[in-house]
Amino acid sequence: MPSFKILLAIPLCALAGLPGCAPPMRDASAPALAQDRAAFGAALLERALAGFFDGPGAAADPPTVCVELSPGGLPAEQEKALMARFPRLAPRDRCAQAPGLMDRITGERAVLLQAYGFACSDPDHCTGWTNASGQPATRWTMRWQEGGWTFASDRRLIAR
């Protein structure tokens, strides 16, 4: 029989902000947006977020992260789906320009992950770009095959 103290310690631990108590980086049980043929922009954001939270060099305690899809913006239902899949993701309006990007609630540094520059040669082949604050842009080649989008990346530095 579980101890009441242990059950109580878990929420208190999370409220206190102790290491190891933060929400998980990714919820693999949430449906993947890469399985939605019409949502290639959201699928690309999903792929980039997976790399940001789980990839090589991922921070154990990352700053607030928001996403942005251009042109047109990310539909609310897709943003909610991404936040269900990545519990550490915040709504777009939580990241604000102050002199630099910051979290409107905590006042701490934030990161904006953007997806943009989409071009599709046909319904099965698209390209797009992602960029996270302070990191090189990445060009992605996307291909629809076997019921989902697949991705190949090409990280580049873009001259200003």
Query: Which tokens sit at 66?
Result: 């928001």
pLDDT tens track for 111-124: 999 999 999 999 99
- Domain boundaries defined on the chain: 25-156
CA distance 110 to 107: 9
Q: How far is CA 46 from CA 23, 69, 113, 127, 132, in A?
A: 18, 11, 10, 15, 13
Q: How far is CA 133 from CA 15, 76, 113, 119, in A?
A: 28, 22, 7, 23
Evaluate if residue 16 carries a pLDDT over 60: no
Output the pTM of the full model.
0.77
CA distance 91 to 101: 14
